[in-house]
Structure 1
């Protein structure tokens, strides 16, 4: 599949709205966006929040469509970063979550000089757990109280 990870642009908002408001996408999230206005406000916020958050999109170059998004949030005092990724459900099972996670890990270590990178997921989100496993992450804690 011909894809690229790139910075978010204004023209991406409609595609991201479709992804972020799809029940299959947000079922493991603690937050829900319900309208285009909410999505637009969220995207404007994350684009302007500062250097500690890098939010990127995954574009299908052949379809000229954003099909996913990923981010790395940096905790500079400890030189560690948390990664996250989401994908349009039509593209599940194609290795694209792993592609985004691997990209973020390389970016975090090579470009941001981080010492540690972690991710978290809902215990029922087996697909995300498998992505983390494929990129070499290890389970450090399986339950938070």
Structure 2
């Protein structure tokens, strides 16, 4: 069974992005994320109504990280300090070495390849550092942009959806084996 320890927060970096710890100062952007109709269209959660809702969410996330239950990164561009979105590994199943990935961006950042870049780095962390065997994603069947994003990152539709209560949701999965094959192929072709 896998052991988790997020006491030293794993800040991640890509060519354009810094994936950092969520801070209380991110409350305005968190409120924007959690209250925006476009972002919340396909997410089954209560919308934030006040800045206090955002502050409570930040506290909840920081407590979950402290208790090694999940890991949530603030997505920022290296050229900006403000939060553009968030990405997390959660619903961690230690017996199966599996986690669920989730992600969201403020609308201003959509269509710029930011989510794809963040997902690539987080799945690399999940497989290489957390030793996950699989990463799953639940996506609303009408959220075509998110489905395409998962497929670009080599997630495969998983027809075994009996465990999903909401029948409008689809499950996609990426296994460590498929990740390793794709990762090794990409490294060989870039040399």
Query: Is it true that 1:30 corresponds to 2:48 in the alignment?
Result: no
Unmatched segments (≥5 aa) in structure 2: 1-14, 168-191
Is the partner of 1:129 in helix, strand or coil?
helix
Q: Decide which of 72, 76, 90 is 2:94's aligned counterpart.
A: 76
Aligned to 2:152: 134
Query: Is it true that 1:62 corresponds to 2:79 in the alignment?
Result: yes
Query: Does the CA-based 8 Å contact 1:72-1:84 persist in structure 2?
Result: yes
Query: Does the CA-based 8 Å contact 2:98-2:134 persist in structure 1?
Result: yes
Residue by residue, what CA displacement relative to the aligned partner does 1:54-93 show, whole Å, maximum 9, x if unpaired? Answer: 0111112323211010100121121101000000101111
The count of residues paired between Structure 1 and Structure 2 equals 145
**Could you tell me how far apart the structure 2 residues matched to 1:79 and 1:114 are?**
5
Sort the Cα spacing of 1:112 and 1:67 in 2 relative to 1 into closer, same or farther, 3 A: same
Query: Does the CA-based 8 Å contact 1:8-1:56 persist in structure 2?
Result: yes
Unmatched segments (≥5 aa) in structure 1: none
- Give the TM-score, by structure 2 length: 0.71
**Could you tell me how far apart the structure 1 residues matched to 2:69 and 2:158 are?**
23
- Give the TM-score, by structure 1 length: 0.92
**Could you tell me how far apart the structure 2 residues matched to 1:130 and 1:75 are?**
25
Greater Cα radius of gyration, structure 1 or 2: 2
